[in-house]
Structure 1
Amino acid sequence: MAKKGAAKAGDQAADGGDQTSEKKSGGGFVGLAILAVGAMTSSFATVYVLASDPPTGPACPVVETGPSVEPIAQQDQSYVELQDILITIGSEPATRYLKMKVSIVTGNGSTGMVEKAEPVLIDAFTNYLRSVELSDFENPDFYAHMREQLSRRSELVLGGGVSQGVLITEFLLR
C-alpha cells in the first residue's frame, strides 16, 4: 500500500507539473490582434491630423540670385600649352622633383606669338620655380601665389595685352 500511495503522489506531482506548464501567459492571438488594430488606428490618426492642405504656390520657390557672373573662359580666348617643366626641388641631392604642365591664356590672334616665345617663357618659369623651397609647396596658400607669379612672368615676357593668365594643367611633386 505504501507503494500505491507513493505512486498516487507521484502521479499528482506529475499532473500538477503538466498543468503549470500548459498555462500560457499574455493574451495570445486576441492580444496581438488588439495591438495591431491599435497601431493601425494611431498611424492613420497621426497621418490624418498632421496632413495639411497642399500648398497653393509654386512647387519650387523662386530665388533671385545676385548679379550675373561673367564666365572666366571667353570665346575670343585661346590656350597655348607649353612643354613640360621638370625641375629638382630643394638644395639636397636630386631626391625631389616637380613636373608641371602650363598653358598660357591669350587672345585668338596671339597664339603664334606665344608659341614663338615658348623657350623664354619656360626659362622665366624655371628660374622662379628653382627659387621655391620644398616647405613652400607644403603650404596650401602657396599655390595661388605661385600661379600669380607665373602669370606675372608671362606678362613680362609677352606683354600685358598678349598674356591673359596662366593655367596649371598638370602638377606632380615627388
Structure 2
Amino acid sequence: MGFYSANTLEQKRVKQLTGDINIHDMFKNECKTRGIPIYNAYNIQKRLIHEVEQEELVGVENVDNRLMELLDERGKNKVTHRYVDFVSKEDSASRGVIPPKGDSDKLPPKEQIKIPPRARDGQTFQTDNELPEMEMLKKIMLQNKKIINQNKIIIDLLKKQGENND
C-alpha cells in the first residue's frame, strides 16, 4: 500500500527551502550570511507557511520568489546569489499526489448503466416494466400486507395510549 501525502507542492517546497519544525542548516547559514537573526528566520518560515495555507502563494515559482523577497527585505548584507537555486525542485515535487478530477470523468446516463447479475446464481432481476402481470400482482399484494401489518401495530399502540389516558 502506498503512502499519500496531503501536503501541496507549495507546502513541500517551503519545507524543502526552510525546514520543518527545526530550520535547516543551509537556511540558517543563508540567514547568517545575510545578517538576519535566527528569530527572523523563524518568522520568515512562519510567514511563508501562512501565505501558502491562505492560498496567497500558488505555484513553486511564487514560493521561491516570495522567499527571496523576504530574505532581501530582512537582510542587512547584500548577497550575489539566489538561495533558492541551491535547493533542487525535484525533491519537493509531489510524486504520490492524486491529480485533480477533470470534467471528462462524468458518469454515463442512468439508462446506460446496467447492473450485473448476482454472482451466486447468475440470476438477473427484471424491472417493473418487464415483470409479467401475475408477478406484479404478487409484488403489490406483498407490499399491501406489509402496510396492513404496520397499521395494525400503530392501532394497537394508539389503543394502549388511549387506555393509559383514561
TM-score, normalized by length of structure 1?
0.30
Return the structure number with greater strand share.
1
Return the structure number with greater helix share.
2
Q: Tell me which structure has the larger Cα radius of gyration.
A: 1
TM-score, normalized by length of structure 2?
0.31
| Highest RCO, 1 vs 2 (Cα 8 Å, sep ≥ 6) | 2
